Amino acid sequence: MAVVNKVTKSGASAYQGIHPDGFQVVDIKNIRVAIYPNRKGTAWLAQGFEIDYIAQGKTIAAAKIAFEDGLAATIHQHLKINGDIDKLLKPAPVKIRLRVLDRVFGNPAAIEATYSQLSSHDIQIEYLALPMAA
């Protein structure tokens, strides 16, 4: 059963499916991520466009890993708290996107790439009813 199935004008997509046993699958495809150095040049930032999520690392590779791991953890939290990823799927604010584009175009070392992620989440919670103490 699909809970969320969205496609943006840019071709990014997000799908969330839930199996009857509660197991959930989230498939995020083709989100654009800009990777650029911070103002001090001491770290690299990875900023999503279709998803308002940012991560950093000391190298480009570390920023990519931090983005992937952090986004998976963020998806898991959205599922745990909201039951779906609907509130996660909002683009970065225009002000942020413009600032990122300025940083990307102003630095030849910066890159822009698309990113896709398929993750599975088992969010089942088993509650135990304990008898009251005598």
Q: What is the pLDDT along the chain (134 residues), one digit of tens a residue?
A: 567 788 888 888 888 888 887 788 888 888 888 888 888 989 988 888 888 889 999 998 999 899 989 998 998 888 888 888 888 878 888 888 888 888 777 777 766 666 666 766 654 444 555 555 55
Q: Which residues pair with 18 in a beta bridge?
A: 24
CA geometry: angle 74, 75, 81, nearest 5 deg: 85
Query: CA-to-CA distance for 8 and 30, rounded, in angstroms?
Result: 10
Q: Which residues pair with 89 in a beta bridge?
A: none
Query: CA-to-CA distance for 94 and 86, rounded, in angstroms?
Result: 19
